Structure 1
Amino acid sequence: MSMPDWIGHAPDHARAYLDGRRLDEVECIVADMSGIARGKAMPAAKFARQKHFYLPNSIFQQTITGDWADDGDTAFLEPDMVLTPDFSTACAAPWTADWTMQVIHDMADQQGEPVATAPRNVLKRVVALYEARGWTPVVAPEMEFYLVARNIDPTQPVLPPMGRSGRRAAARQAYSMSAVDEYGPVIDDIYDFAEAMGLEIDGILQEGGSGQVEMNLGHGDPVKLADEIFYFKRLIRESALRHDCYATFMAKPIQDEPGSAMHMHHSVIDQATGRNLFDADDGTESPEFLHFIGGMQRHLPSVIALLAPYVNSYRRYVRDFAAPINLEWGRDNRTTGLRVPVSDPGAKRVENRIAGMDCNPYLGIAASLACGYLGLVNRIDPAPQFAGDAYDSADGIPRDLSTALDLFEAATEIRAILHPHFCSVYTSVKRMENGAFLQVISPWEREHLLLNV
């Protein structure tokens, strides 16, 4: 059976998935401000005949609650963006009932300029700054998430899933193989879907929370890895639904359990020599390594609004509870916000442990790389390495969304790197979300304040 002509530009795994089959549908998708897939699905024959597709640029103004934030002069016009398929991202949607492919699209305005508010373009913009200086940034993300029992009533607490033993998943079972086996069928589907989509999993393990899983990805190009996280979130959710549970990437879904992080390992390659910029010729750590850390220490507070984008994100930052609340750096020290893992000299890297798994992967990686970039170009020296328990150090990051947004609005260097218009729209979206949350009266308030104050 013949394949559509455009499949010839797609990766090998996409062609293998369709070998001998008739493609029914193509999903044309982009990631919105929250990292949610938005776009349109169309018959494969129609997709093959079109070079461009259109969506209103207002999708980047939509809040997580479905409201619309202001975008300046064009707020009510909603002009169309021109979407062009990036065929290198074509992959299967193996959970669908028919033969479906999904393709991430590049986004430009009608004059051909990249749409500044598109999160994928924000990351591309940051990567281009590195490339212009002869550097290639490399990332390796870790994804943490929870498998939870179905929860169709938002007023009820989230519960761990029921395992194959008939018991709910237990907490405090980090690295336990039997704990992972409790929801083995979900993990099996994750592996199968990932293989069909050409996505590589470096490892899966049980984390410390009830039903909490960590999945590690290989290292590579930041945009490619962000695309993979975007895809992985979809496939993990679909795998869970097949087995009567939910997968959630909410930063803190269960009270008294650890939160879910998206740790990011960073290194930088010198294009001229091919060597790791963080490794000096004699195998020691280079000045650039320390400058990268210095940039992160100075600028990370300004981008916490991107790494912790919701009111719930800040519930993860609890002292002595598996989430760093500081900007200290240390070697092989998981209490520091910036950790230098044990590695060979050529794999020298910095691990940013502050980001939550609820962040948009494009924006989280872009924000983290922007901080390191400013450290490199401005040669910022870090504070001395921290030895001991960094939970005893002073808090280094904002602890609520409103404060984080104040710092983000005042960060002129960061805003210039990410794009001022993007920063303005992002702040508007998050202010609106925060305002909507503040209108909600919680059970805690009714329990403790209704009759007591």
Structure 2
Amino acid sequence: MSHWTDHIPDAARAYIAGRRPDEVECVVPDIAGVARGKAMPAAKFARQEKFYLPDSIFLQTITGDWAQVPDQAYTEPDMILRPDFSTTTAAPWTADVTLQVIHDVLDPQDQPVPIAPRNVLKRVMGFYAERGWKPVIAPEMEFYLVARNTDPAKPIEPPMGRSGRPAAARQAYSLSAVDEYGPVIDDIYDFAEAQGLEIDGILQEGGAGQIEINLNHGDPVQLADEVFYFKRLIREAAMRHNCYATFMAKPIENEPGSAMHIHHSVVDIASGNNIFSDAAGETTDDFFYFIGGMQKYLPAVIAILAPYVNSYRRYVPDFAAPINLEWGRDNRTTGIRVPVSSAASRRVENRLAGMDCNPYLGIAASLACGYLGIVERITPRAQYKGDAYVAEDELPLTLGDALDLLEECEPMREVLGKRFCIVYESVKRLEYKEFLQVISPWERQHLLLNV
């Protein structure tokens, strides 16, 4: 009888290297993309085929409160967790030999729980598969390394570099700027290698201490798993060097925000060809329909791509964050960009998603827009040429407005799943309500004695 470690990826087996694993973390990504689950001795994990967690893990807000879902009693029934051994990876920052395993979430009838983010992405993938298509994506992850911040009342500051000076802003693509926090980068590389995660490139972005990591293109679920894992390993690497890594959309005033740009193409399963290019290498109708779908439906999913009140601080003109639905070829000022590529790798880049979004949900929502565009044969507007930062703003400006658009969009609710949308909106509206009860320093400074 085979042992469960016979079914794990090569990188995980290499990490064990003949040792006995001490602990296994049974992991489920929640609505926010936070790792929920339980850790247990590896020997106990080996004896069980499934595990259990209450469905309330998907009702929890980022502040730790629980949302009340309309027409659903709060009874916290158990869900079944079944390990997906293909996701097994090391937790190399731990003192002992620890492995992480992402689990599929099922109901008592062995059906996918519709509100689990990983299942939402699989649902969208199913719509593509029904038409003989397979989407391919490549994410770009932007984040900040910042000085330790133990007092939430104090502004976030850049980290101290190895030169003894704070990290400098406006040094995009500078290798010297990356070298300032080289020890953190070294640990990120080492952790990623131990986990079997491949980095396509790493570079300095425009903000002080802001870094971008690019991943190779591939299967959307696998890439979402990798982004999920990367967020944790990057945080752990930073903590080793007395700083924090943050994926907030806008952590520092007057600095650019952090995005998760998503590149998409779609492959015909039967032929293996990119449906965005024809036999002559020219763009197809489906390519334009995909863009048209993004222009029509992205506003309805901004609440997923920009899931917190802080997310909307990133949508500021001239801060490297497009706030429009224009599309253009090799134009980074448009919300929808078509990079320079060969016909085989022709793709569409969504530049609106924030790095604070749940990667499973952000990728699912972005793919859903393109899918609806192809199915509904939506023709996009004419290509935008020039600086689209001066174009008309077309996105909701608050989380409340964004949630209203999602609630009103029936086609999108059908693709993502109506039950998921109801739960997601309940969680986010409670978070928004909690935020509105907080009085900010700006209000005290300018309103206390002046109005």
Cα distance in 2 between the residues matched to 1:155 and 1:88: 42
Corresponding residue to 2:240 among 236, 242, 260: 242
3-state SS of the aligned residue for 2:344?
helix
State whether structure 2 residue 248 is matched by structure 1 residue 259. Answer: no
* Residue equivalent to 2:296: 298
Aligned to 1:179: 177
Within the candidate set 112, 115, 118, 1:117 is matched to 115
Aligned mates of 1:362, 1:102 — CA distance in 2: 18
Give the % identical residues. 72
2:320 matched residue in structure 1: 322
Which residue of structure 2 aligns with residue 168 of structure 1? 166
1:358-377 CA-partner distances (Å, limit 9, x unpaired): 00000000000000000011
TM-score, normalization by structure 1: 0.99
Name the aligned partner's letter for residue 182 of structure 1: E
Structure 1 gaps, min length 5: none
Using the TM superposition, give the Cα deviation of residue 111 of structure 1 relative to its aligned residue in structure 2, in angstroms: 1.4
Deviations 1:82-104 (A, max 9, x none): 00000000000000110000000
Q: Which amino acid aligns with 1:365?
A: I
Q: CA deviation at 1:381?
A: 0.4
Q: How does 1:404-423 map to 2 (within 5 A)?
A: 404-423=402-421
How far residue 75 of structure 1 moved from its aligned partner, in angstroms, is 3.5
For 1:336 and 1:327, the matched residues in 2 are separated by 7
What is the total number of aligned residue pairs between the two structures?
451
Q: For residues 243-280 of structure 1, give each alpha carbon's deviation from its aligned partner in whole angstroms, at most 9, with x where no partner exists.
A: 00000000000000000000000000011111100011
3-state SS of the aligned residue for 1:110? coil
Specify the alignment match of 1:18 in structure 2.
Answer: 16
Shift of 1:70: 1.3
**Could you list the runs of 4 or more consecutive aligned residues of structure 1 that deviate by over 4 angstroms after TM superposition?**
none
Alignment of 1:30-69 (within 5 A): 30-69=28-67
* Paired letter, 1:92: A
For 2:54, give the aligned amino acid. P
Q: Are 1:387 and 2:385 counterparts? A: yes
Distance in 2 between the 1:301 and 1:73 partners? 27
Q: Distance in 2 between matches of 1:390 and 1:299?
A: 19
CA distance in 1 between counterparts of 2:400 and 2:449 reads 29
Measure the CA separation in 2 of the matches of 1:75 and 1:250: 33
Cα deviation for residue 179 of structure 1 reads 0.2
Aligned to 2:125: 127
Aligned-pair RMSD on alpha carbons?
Answer: 0.9
The match for 1:445 among 436, 443, 446 is: 443
Residue 227 of structure 1: aligned partner: 225
Give the aligned partner of residue 350 of structure 1.
348
Equivalence map 1:129-168=2 (5 Å): 129-168=127-166
Q: CA deviation at 1:6?
A: 0.3
Q: Deviations over 1:171-222 (max 9, x none)?
A: 0000000000000000000000000000000000000000000000000000
Q: Is the 8 A contact 1:58 1:75 kept in 2?
A: no
Structure 1 counterpart SS, 2:282: coil
Instruction: Give 1:73 shift.
Output: 4.5
Deviation at 1:71, TM superposition (A): 2.8
How far is the alpha carbon of 1:297 from its aligned partner?
0.3
In the aligned structure 1, how far is the partner of 2:93 from the partner of 2:244?
Answer: 15
- Correspondence for 1:427 among 425, 428, 435: 425
Q: CA deviation at 1:283?
A: 1.1
For 1:73 and 1:243, the matched residues in 2 are separated by 48
Which runs of 5 or more structure 2 residues have no equivalent in the other structure? none
Find the aligned partners of 2:400 and 2:71 in 1 and give their Cα distance: 25
Distance across 2 between alignment mates of 1:384 and 1:137: 25
- 1:163 maps to a residue whose letter is G
Distance in 2 (alpha carbons) for counterparts of 1:282 and 1:383? 24
Q: Which residue of 2 aligns with 1:197?
A: 195
Say if 2:278 is the partner of 1:280: yes
* In 2, Cα distance between equivalents of 1:444 and 1:93: 41
Choose which of 74, 90, 93 in structure 1 pairs with 2:91. Answer: 93
Partner Cα separation in structure 1 for residue 156 and residue 131 of structure 2? 47
2:124, 2:221 → 1: CA distance? 10
TM-score by length of 2: 0.99
The residue type equivalent to 1:224 in the other structure is Q
Q: Name the stretch that deviates more: 207-216 or 64-73.
A: 64-73
2:257 corresponds to which letter in structure 1?
Answer: G
Q: Secondary structure at the match of 2:4?
A: helix
Partners of 2:2 and 2:375 in 1: CA distance: 46
DSSP-derived class of the 1:232 partner: helix
Cα separation, 2, equivalents of 1:73 and 1:51: 33
CA distance in 2 between partners of 1:112 and 1:70 (Å) = 25
Which of 357, 369, 373 aligns to 1:371? It is 369
Distance 1:20 1:124 in 2: 34
Structure-1 separation of matches of 2:419 and 2:285: 33
Contact 1:251 1:261 in 2 (8 A): yes
Offset of 1:323 from its aligned partner?
A: 0.1
The answer (yes or no) to whether the contact 1:4–1:48 under 8 Å persists in 2 is no
Q: 105, 115, 119: which is aligned to 2:103?
A: 105
2:18 & 2:131 partners in 1: Cα distance?
46
Q: Displacement, 1:76?
A: 1.8
Seen in structure 2, the aligned counterparts of structure 1 residues 342 and 97 have a Cα distance that, compared at 3 Å, is: same
Question: Separation in 1 of the partners of 2:161 and 2:390?
Answer: 37
Residue 4 (structure 1) shift = 8.1
Asked if the contact 1:28–1:40 (Cα under 8 Å) also holds between the matched residues in 2, the reply is yes
The DSSP-based 3-state class of the residue aligned with 1:345 is coil
Structure 2 letter corresponding to 1:206: Q
Q: Distance in 2 between matches of 1:121 and 1:413?
A: 18
SS at match of 1:194: helix
Distance 1:75 1:27 in 2: 30
How far apart are the structure 2 equivalents of 1:399 and 1:216?
A: 28
